[in-house]
Chain A
Amino acid sequence: MPRYLIRRLGQALLVMAGVVALTFVITRMVPGDPAVAYAGPKATPEQLAEVRARFGLDDPLWVQLGNYVRDLVTGDWQTSLHTRRPVLEDLYHAFPASLELVGAGLVIAVVAGIPVGVLAARFRGRFPDFSVRLTSMLAVSLPVFWLALALQTVFASNLGWFPVAGEYDSALDTTSPLTLWTNITVVDALITGNWPILTSTLAHLVLPALVVAAYPAGVIAQMVRATLIEEASQDHARLERALGFRETTILTRFALRPALNPVLSLIALVFAYAIVNGFLVEAVFNWPGLGRYAVNAISSSDTPAVAGVTLLVALMYVLANLVVDLLQGVVDPRARAR
């Protein structure tokens, strides 16, 4: 295990290095002279030279890369052209809200996807299976921004069942202000017992979380169905049948646990998708997370901010994959023996 751990950690570090390098390349791909872009078209040659010297634009590319890495490590993720604040600070404030939204979406996806996948596997080839396959394919084919707009229009604007936008009713900030611990509103409201903000946030969370959940729920249902069908055709399922266990018991109590292993790695993959899909959802529901920040950055061509979000999400994705690989040892005793 330690050996496998070290190998896996080394791999993750290598990928992170590559992620940083690729982000660097993207930020240097800005068309035209970055010095002109910064100093403005009317800058004098002297001013341009000064800008170049200040940002090290005359240095060889590898020196620039070195500076870039040094800045990142020391916490200087450049300054947003749009908010005029350090990008890292902006990310720090926006991230918890995204985590809250994506977390809620993934919980819904897992809670809905797994039983539905089991149902399809139990009645494979019959009507429940057919409808689950069809529904899950629809769920993964939905354009998130459109689904977000549709749910918002129907259930918030027209029917008025849910709030239209935002994270919670901002009037509550004065009547029952929230003490911040983790910056995740739901969690903070829960631990400080701030019920008005908690209920308001949960009500605001329903629609965007459902939109975020659609894609992962579909993928999880498909994956659970496929792996359960595979597991149910294994020798051990035959023995369990010969021992008199019901088909449903075999699926839920025997086959589901080994089948959860691929689902777990899927969740890491889907986590990244959910964050990025969450961008569009946040923009529609005006959710104060990374996505809204990124979409604002995109519309104002705020390259440092976009690069910062990209880097953060990619690094988190690498980390999530690492954690999942290590978790597999807990779920599947065979992986521990490797």
Chain B
Amino acid sequence: MIEVRDLRVSYGGRVVAKVPELDVAPGECVAIVGESGSGKSTTLLALLGLTEGAEVGGRIRVAGVDVTSASPAELRAIRGARVALVMQSPQAALSPTLRLGTLMRRALRLHGVGDAERVMAEAVEAVLLDPAILRRYPHEVSGGQAQRFAIALAIALGAEAILADEPTSALDVTVQAEVVAVLRTLCAERGLALLLVSHDLALVSTIAHRVLVMRAGEVVESGPAGRVLSEPSHPYTRELLEALP
């Protein structure tokens, strides 16, 4: 689903992210962990060709499309419809003057999904939200609801992969669990590929199959989640683990 080789993202000659190898298969969850500024979010955006003003090198294949050489139209066709993005601050990610349903309806029309009303209702129910939420404005819903709505957008558009950038860090602890549960179900039952960026190792340990640890733009360690988190080989990973409560 996602296949990255020798990715290099740089701004004006300064390399901010270097990823030699990153694969995510359908039904698999891969997590990138590291502190802020380690290049993990940049990597995520590079997968959708959304790193404005950056030079991106290497090979990125997402949903069968070569992102580095794709035309703008080809990129727009996979964005949303095949690969969805879930962002950190859920409410800020929703246009403040639009009802949630309006945004979803426009996105469905953009990607030519028919029977919009039924698709919308099903997608919203799949993330355990009341369909009435579609009539609300972003400032009228909670952070957890907004985040689940963002996931519902992915479901409605039939995305095969979700790129989630710190999807829980702006939420309360109890709400975090709900969002994680929804994401895990999508992976396990619908076979979506999930690429998760997080600095929250506790979250990562409950959901990820494999883990990449990044620091200052470099991948310092990678492997199955169980091994990396229980017997880390790199001192930086150990540091991160020790920082856990």
B94 and A239 contact, CB distance less than 8 A:
yes
Say whether chain B's binding surface is mostly helix, strand, loop, or mixed. Answer: loop
Give the chain A neighbours of B157 by CB distance below 8 A. Answer: 243
B50 and A241 contact, CB distance less than 8 A:
yes
Give the chain B neighbours of A334 by CB distance below 8 A. Answer: 96, 137, 139
A317-338: CB near B (< 8 Å → 1, else 0) gives 0000000000000011110010
Extra contacts, 9 of them, besides A235-B92, A244-B78, A333-B96 (Cβ < 8 A), are A241-B50, A243-B79, A243-B85, A243-B107, A245-B106, A332-B96, A332-B97, A333-B139, A334-B96
Give the chain B neighbours of A245 by CB distance below 8 A. Answer: 76, 106-107, 110
Bound Cα distance A257, B94 (Å): 13
Closest beta carbon of chain B to A251's beta carbon, Å? 12
A225-267: CB near B (< 8 Å → 1, else 0) gives 0000000001110111111111000000111011000000000
Bound Cα distance A234, B91 (Å): 11
Give the chain A neighbours of B139 by CB distance below 8 A. Answer: 333-334, 337
- Closest residue of chain A to B153 (Cβ to Cβ) is A243
Give the chain B neighbours of A331 by CB distance below 8 A. Answer: 97
Residues of A21-50 at the interface with B, using a CB-CB cut-off of 8 Å, are none
Residues of A256-298 at the interface with B, using a CB-CB cut-off of 8 Å, are 257-258
A236 and B76 contact, CB distance less than 8 A:
no
Bound Cα distance A239, B104 (Å): 12
In the complex, the 4 A-B pairs of residues with the closest C-beta atoms, listed nearest first:
A242-B85, A243-B80, A244-B79, A244-B80
Give the chain A neighbours of B78 by CB distance below 8 A. Answer: 244
A235 and B111 contact, CB distance less than 8 A:
no
Query: Chain A, interface size: which category?
Result: 20 to 34
A242 and B96 contact, CB distance less than 8 A:
no
- Closest residue of chain B to A258 (Cβ to Cβ) is B97
B81 contacts A by Cβ under 8 Å: yes
Give the chain B neighbours of A255 by CB distance below 8 A. Answer: 95
B79, B87, B110, B137: the one contacting A333 at CB < 8 Å is B137
List 30 A-B pairs, Cβ < 8 Å: A235-B89, A235-B92, A236-B92, A236-B94, A238-B50, A239-B87, A240-B95, A241-B50, A241-B79, A242-B48, A242-B50, A242-B84, A243-B79, A243-B84, A243-B107, A243-B153, A244-B77, A244-B78, A245-B76, A245-B110, A246-B76, A254-B98, A255-B95, A257-B97, A257-B98, A258-B95, A333-B96, A334-B96, A334-B137, A334-B139
Query: Chain B, interface size: which category?
Result: 20 to 34
Bound Cα distance A235, B138 (Å): 13
Bound Cα distance A285, B81 (Å): 58
A239 and B106 contact, CB distance less than 8 A:
no
Give the chain B neighbours of A235 by CB distance below 8 A. Answer: 87, 89, 92-93
A234 and B107 contact, CB distance less than 8 A:
no
- List A residues at the B interface (Cβ < 8 Å): 234-236, 238-246, 253-255, 257-258, 331-334, 337
A234, A238, A241, A253: the one contacting B106 at CB < 8 Å is A253
Bound Cα distance A238, B139 (Å): 18
- Closest residue of chain B to A333 (Cβ to Cβ) is B137
Give the chain A neighbours of B89 by CB distance below 8 A. Answer: 235
- List B residues at the A interface (Cβ < 8 Å): 48, 50, 76-81, 84-85, 87, 89, 92-98, 106-107, 110-111, 137, 139, 150, 153, 157
- Closest residue of chain B to A240 (Cβ to Cβ) is B95
B76 and A239 contact, CB distance less than 8 A:
no
- Closest residue of chain B to A233 (Cβ to Cβ) is B52
Closest beta carbon of chain B to A238's beta carbon, Å? 7
Give the chain A neighbours of B98 by CB distance below 8 A. Answer: 254, 257
Bound Cα distance A243, B83 (Å): 9
Give the chain A neighbours of B111 by CB distance below 8 A. Answer: 244
Give the chain A neighbours of B81 by CB distance below 8 A. Answer: 244
Closest beta carbon of chain A to B94's beta carbon, Å? 6
B87 and A238 contact, CB distance less than 8 A:
yes
Bound Cα distance A213, B26 (Å): 58
Bound Cα distance A44, B81 (Å): 93
Give the chain B neighbours of A244 by CB distance below 8 A. Answer: 76-81, 107, 110-111
* Known interface pairs A244-B111, A253-B106; A238-B79 also in contact (CB < 8 Å): no
Residue of A234, A236, A334 with highest tally of chain B CB at under 10 A: A236
Residue of A235, A246, A257, A334 with highest tally of chain B CB at under 10 A: A235
